[in-house]
Amino acid sequence: MVLEKLGDSLKETLKKIAKSVFVDEKLINELVKDIQRALLQADVNVKLVFELTQEIKNRALKEEAPSGLTKKEHLVNIVYEELVKFLGEKPAEIKITKKPFKIMMVGLFGSGKTTTIGKLAKYFTKKGHKVAALGLDVHRPAAPEQLAQISKQINVPCFIEKAEKDPVKIYKKYESALQKFDVVIIDTAGRDALSGELIKEIRDVYNLIKPDENLLVISADIGQAAQKQAQVFHDNAAITGVVATKMDGTAKGGGALTACAATKSPIKFLGVGEKVDDLETFNPPGFVGRLLGMGDIQALLEKAKEAIPEEKAEDLSKRLLKGEFTLIDLFDQMEAMKKMGSLGKIMEMIPGFSQIKLPKELLQVQESKLKKWKHAMLSMTKQELEDPTILNTSRIDRISKGSGVSAKDIRELIKQYRVGKKMVKMFKGKSPKSMQQMMKKFKGKLPPGFSM
């Protein structure tokens, strides 16, 4: 992940606090220097780094630890809180307040505008809105077709005009047709922020469309140039939010994260891959939590909510609390995981799990295997599904014959079930209240994982 290195250095720094004997000025100075070094290496803007660390230092020297927190815990918490504040504090959601709600995408060449349109279109469609895409990139010849392909993939109507070279005319042509959609997402040409002509075009298009959201798409690999580029866009077409893309790569990422400071607008989404599902809403507390290694229970819950219908999730969690777990639960979970994305990504979000490196094979249940297991399960009795421990050789034989799935594959399914059951045992006996307390701890004052 982008910023992995930053996360590692920050974790090291926080460990130093845990190991130290006293919290004194010397330790605080050392901590501030370490954080500065880590942020600068990640390409975060120099001025911002100094402002941020100055604030950490001031608070660390001035504030008394509140009762209930040790000095060390308080210090870690100051670092956490200031980093969260730095990134915008609360998640900045896009609320669809009128019809059609127009979202315009601007950014440099190849930053990920068109790809992000597909992701956003899917995101808003899932929320129940009627979405359309409008192609106003008249400069790159292949651009309209690219947008059409992406829209087709997610079943969203796409308005393009391949022969027209004036974006203003295209917009006017489709303006009335677009009235019947809830959300219209507008693709614009990539540009170099320093080229006068393209900048004039974006100003014209912006003034004509008057978008409700104007999102600046910034790629993680842009580095220190981010500030200046973002500023030029903002001066010509007021930016309301930032999408930081390619956050799955190896770039340093700090530049993209600080583009929001230049435009005084929050990061709203992260692009974490090339596929339409590789989009995350940006949640500063969760993000900092993940950077510092405390996991991100909230982002996980959000994803889980999308994948499993609410009543079902509630039902499952109630039964898990009782320590109950059937083959059907296992299957439901595997299906849900498939929808949520790779298990690896999910594990990163669970507190405590981010530090454990699991073998890749364990994290990926292949599609083909899921299909076989589904067939095998269709040949099982209700009793077997509810209590797979009764599956002896003769039962496995019968299921294998009935379903055409090999005994080996069925045994593997049983093995997978046992692993799941073991994990569920950890929940057993925990009252909903104690679970709630656990959750509170994750979200509360101190990043867990720092035992002091």
Ligand X SMILES: Nc1nc2c(ncn2[C@@H]2O[C@H](COP(=O)(O)OP(=O)(O)OP(=O)(O)O)[C@@H](O)[C@H]2O)c(=O)[nH]1
The residue ranges that bind ligand X (CB under 6 A) are: 107, 109-115, 137, 140, 143, 190, 217, 245-246, 248-249, 271-274, 278
Name the minimum Å distance from CB 348 to ligand X: 16
**Tokens, residue 88:** 């915008």
Q: For residue 19, give Cα distances in angstroms to 12, 15, 168, 450.
A: 11, 6, 62, 11
Q: Which residue is nearest to ligand X (CB)?
A: 190
Angle between helices 25-41 and 4-19 (to 10 degrees): 170
Burial class (CB in 10 A: 0-12, 13-18, 19+), 383: exposed
314 binds, among ligand X, Mg ion, none (CB under 5 to 8 A by kind): none
When the beta carbons of 209 and 247 are compared against ligand X, the nearer one is 247
Name the minimum Å distance from CB 192 to ligand X: 10
Number of Cβ atoms within 10 Å of the Cβ of 11: 20
When the beta carbons of 145 and 315 are compared against ligand X, the nearer one is 145
Sheet arrangement for strand 158-159 = 158-159, 131-136, 183-188, 101-107, 213-219, 241-245, 267-271, 279-281
Helices within 210-342 (DSSP H only): 226-236, 254-263, 284-292, 297-307, 310-321, 327-340
144 binds, among Mg ion, ligand X, none (CB under 5 to 8 A by kind): none
Is 292 in contact with 10 (CB distance < 8 Å)?
Answer: yes
Is 256 in contact with 80 (CB distance < 8 Å)?
Answer: no
240 binds, among Mg ion, ligand X, none (CB under 5 to 8 A by kind): none
Name the minimum Å distance from CB 222 to Mg ion: 16
When the beta carbons of 142 and 356 are compared against Mg ion, the nearer one is 142
Biggest distance spanned by C-alpha atoms of the chain: 77
Name the minimum Å distance from CB 107 to Mg ion: 9
Name the minimum Å distance from CB 193 to Mg ion: 16
Dist. CA 72–CA 79, nearest whole Å: 11
Name the minimum Å distance from CB 443 to Mg ion: 38
Handedness of CA 179, 184, 188, 194 (dihedral sign): positive
Q: Could you list the residues that contact Mg ion (CB under 5 A)?
A: 113-114
Dist. CA 230–CA 216, nearest whole Å: 8
248 binds, among ligand X, Mg ion, none (CB under 5 to 8 A by kind): ligand X
245 binds, among ligand X, Mg ion, none (CB under 5 to 8 A by kind): ligand X
Q: Rounded to 10 degrees, what is the CA torsion of 59, 241, 346, 11?
A: -30
How are the residues of the chain apportioned to helix, strand and coil, as percentages rounded to the nearest 5? 60, 10, 35
164 binds, among ligand X, Mg ion, none (CB under 5 to 8 A by kind): none
Angle between helices 393-403 and 407-425 (to 10 degrees): 120
274 binds, among Mg ion, ligand X, none (CB under 5 to 8 A by kind): ligand X
Name the minimum Å distance from CB 111 to Mg ion: 9
Name the minimum Å distance from CB 334 to ligand X: 26
Is 286 in contact with 351 (CB distance < 8 Å)?
Answer: no
Dist. CA 35–CA 238, nearest whole Å: 32
Name the minimum Å distance from CB 375 to Mg ion: 43
When the beta carbons of 7 and 107 are compared against ligand X, the nearer one is 107
Phi, psi of 205 (to 5 degrees): -60, -45
Name the minimum Å distance from CB 262 to ligand X: 19
When the beta carbons of 198 and 330 are compared against ligand X, the nearer one is 198
272 binds, among ligand X, Mg ion, none (CB under 5 to 8 A by kind): ligand X
167 binds, among Mg ion, ligand X, none (CB under 5 to 8 A by kind): none
When the beta carbons of 114 and 283 are compared against Mg ion, the nearer one is 114
When the beta carbons of 200 and 425 are compared against ligand X, the nearer one is 200
SS3 category, 251: coil
Q: Which residue is nearest to Mg ion (CB)?
A: 114
11 binds, among ligand X, Mg ion, none (CB under 5 to 8 A by kind): none
